[in-house]
Structure 1
């Protein structure tokens, strides 16, 4: 799952390229005739669990034909065509070549994929699921002839051969193995979160080599929240304030299926995850993911005392907004949706009091969503009636800093203030090219 209370964000859950070239082995790619439709349908479901469409389908583009730009620390890359077109897609891939690209990050011609493709997570996908995914992409996706675009990464950073050493250091080969002492639901949830869901790609901090700091619950940094492409992907551990510690199992299942609950609403890249992936999950798989995530111990918190709601000081400020710059902006632009009490009108309009995204130490997601708004959550084909609008053209950097500082202090949230320089930096990086 990607990119979550972004939330999260976000973010971003990126899947990079399979570049089709002439077959390098003697095996034959999938025939274009009749396929096992049960296997194809299962592969379609698994592709939704992996949220493949979110990265491999550009806005207004054809499904899985690539072209979506992705920002990385090294420069911009463009997601590739993974339709079964023989010239520009993956139509020439055998199942073995497909599996190697998916789980080891090595294309059919032998070149290494950038680790923006979450193959360290997909390494855990079992053989049966790889077979079903291959059947879907070869027989359930329409071929599209669309050439892939070269990345904007400059030499020498665009060289691929050093990635062999990256893989030696950070890629853990071998599928997911059930943990002894854990029940079927927990292990299924762990398999989905760590594997196809690749939640750690967005929600786990990365090291200096852009590697995830942990790939499963054995590492304390796993799913503890991370900054990625202008969003802070939320903490998914049991941390009380910024994580899922105050969420019930029902809260989490509701969020995965609808993108909103009494605590928070999805925004940023997580909107795409809800729209394209988690809402399609079976009830059994949603329950398994919730079981696993709710088992994770607290990690990555701010060290603040456990959050308790207190509206009094904030109400006084809102009663006298002339005395508080942030209160003035809140009263004019925010209060009609998020309320005097900060509770909003959940789940349709997000609460701000006690919202994990508001309490997070890193305010990037709040700045980003205030500047740029968020896309529509589309549940069962119906768009959300109240998406968050962007205020980049309405409020200046200082006004946004003031109102976010007010919100982060309000209702006993107790989070650090936001500076105008932080807003200016994100405004520049997110508004470029718009």
Structure 2
């Protein structure tokens, strides 16, 4: 009898240890999945201010029309609570829902296809057990014909996606390959920074093609190349991704959301890996040879403040206090204008939008202060903005085409 009681007690004890171990494993998976969701920037597209996390409803403007993000909480009626792990994986990696319908590539599944099985499992556990269910029902995406025919995405996927898993770069360091995995899969950096083809497809999905991360266009903004980033050190890349600013630049446009919801939450090791990978890619020449004499001539003329053009006068009156006569701004506070990517972009829309609407840096753990540039839409008319932007694009060592008032008028129409 005593032996039987002892065996029962031992069995209960073993069972209790097993339950505890399972709970600890699950807790660790939830924590890992939460971090991976930050790497994947899921929050930015599937969360709307004032509503629950991942409840969907964000309006994503595309060339096809407005696409609304879905509820990806574990709610069983309006979310993904009934998804099996395989169905979850198919939606994330292939853009295929359990009912067979197809997602639009506003969901970056062509990049997510490279997510490892282990990371996919952790993501599934997190979204099913670590996210609070929400009964929020986002608006339905309703595009015009023929884009409303989701079955057509089957052929788009056949032509433009790949189910090939992530391929480490032969001969590269472990750190570079960690960065490559993040950038090419969860980070889906190519969805914005890789040029698109006629089918609105990313022209390349990995570093095996020189077009990968070679720059593109998003909502009429020129998106810069990330290949090599010759003007930035690895630490400056880390600083930018971690805080939205470094000694040369400050975040603007869609990238602000990426910093706020994703990269500012990454570990130092992962940020360094990303920086190492981008520098490893190379292949991106500097904007132009730095023209010291031209830079000094602009600085001297602004300092003397004599015989100024209207664009130069507008700069002194509206911009000089922060960006100075040197065009160098203040390191870590006000970005450089001399040789800045947004200033020298082929399409000046990003610069025009910033002048009109202003910009605001995100508040992050490493840089909690929120610095804002005011917008000048009410203060300056289209012709004045055009002359100001033209001066900035041609002053110091910059050498970009002039801006017209018609270009300014088009950007002004987009302001909310």
TM-score, normalised relative to structure 1: 0.86
Unaligned runs of 5+ in 1: 1-32, 239-243
Q: Does 1:328 align with 2:318?
A: no
2:249 is matched with which residue?
A: 264
Shift in alpha-carbon separation, 1:382–1:354, aligned structure 2, 3 A: closer
Kindly report the root-mean-square deviation, in angstroms, between the aligned alpha carbons of the 2 structures: 1.9
Shift in alpha-carbon separation, 1:383–1:367, aligned structure 2, 3 A: farther
1:4 is matched with which residue?
A: none
Q: C-alpha distance in 2, partners of 1:383/1:327?
A: 34
Q: Name the SS of the counterpart of 1:295 in structure 2.
A: helix
1:16 is matched with which residue?
A: none
1:73-152 to structure 2, matched below 5 A, reads 73-152=63-142
Once the two structures are superposed, residues 240-281 of structure 1 have per-residue CA deviations (whole angstroms, 9 ceiling, x without a partner) of xxxx11211111111111111122111111111111111111
Q: C-alpha distance in 2, partners of 1:424/1:224?
A: 29
1:425 is matched with which residue?
A: 410
Q: Does 1:315 align with 2:287?
A: no
Number of residue pairs aligned between Structure 1 and Structure 2 = 392
1:322-361 to structure 2, matched below 5 A, reads 323-361=308-346
1:170-181 to structure 2, matched below 5 A, reads 170-181=160-171
2:190 is matched with which residue?
A: 200
Q: Name the SS of the counterpart of 1:71 in structure 2.
A: strand
The answer (yes or no) to whether the contact 2:40–2:186 under 8 Å persists in 1 is yes
Deviation at 1:387, TM superposition (A): 1.4
Q: Does 1:227 align with 2:217?
A: yes
The answer (yes or no) to whether the contact 1:263–1:354 under 8 Å persists in 2 is no
Q: Name the SS of the counterpart of 1:235 in structure 2.
A: coil
Q: Name the SS of the counterpart of 1:70 in structure 2.
A: strand
Shift in alpha-carbon separation, 1:215–1:380, aligned structure 2, 3 A: same
Give structure 1 regions of 4+ aligned residues with deviation exceeding 6 angstroms: none
1:5-20 to structure 2, matched below 5 A, reads none
The answer (yes or no) to whether the contact 2:113–2:165 under 8 Å persists in 1 is yes
1:9 is matched with which residue?
A: none
Shift in alpha-carbon separation, 1:82–1:321, aligned structure 2, 3 A: farther
Selected match of 1:400 from 342, 366, 385 = 385
Once the two structures are superposed, residues 15-70 of structure 1 have per-residue CA deviations (whole angstroms, 9 ceiling, x without a partner) of xxxxxxxxxxxxxxxxxx96801000000000001111111111222211111111
Deviation at 1:415, TM superposition (A): 1.7
Shift in alpha-carbon separation, 1:382–1:293, aligned structure 2, 3 A: closer
Q: Name the SS of the counterpart of 1:36 in structure 2.
A: helix
1:306 is matched with which residue?
A: 289
Task: Specify which structure has the higher proportion of helix.
Answer: 2
Q: Name the SS of the counterpart of 1:331 in structure 2.
A: helix
Selected match of 1:368 from 343, 350, 353 = 353
The answer (yes or no) to whether the contact 2:250–2:361 under 8 Å persists in 1 is no
Selected match of 1:294 from 279, 296, 312 = 279
2:365 is matched with which residue?
A: 380
Once the two structures are superposed, residues 160-213 of structure 1 have per-residue CA deviations (whole angstroms, 9 ceiling, x without a partner) of 011100000111103202222122111111100000000011111111101001
Q: C-alpha distance in 1, partners of 2:50/2:222?
A: 26
Unaligned runs of 5+ in 2: 1-21
Deviation at 1:218, TM superposition (A): 2.0
The answer (yes or no) to whether the contact 2:358–2:376 under 8 Å persists in 1 is yes
Deviation at 1:154, TM superposition (A): 1.3
The answer (yes or no) to whether the contact 2:57–2:138 under 8 Å persists in 1 is yes
Q: C-alpha distance in 2, partners of 1:132/1:321?
A: 64
TM-score, normalised relative to structure 2: 0.90
Once the two structures are superposed, residues 379-425 of structure 1 have per-residue CA deviations (whole angstroms, 9 ceiling, x without a partner) of 11864342122222222211111111111111111122212111111
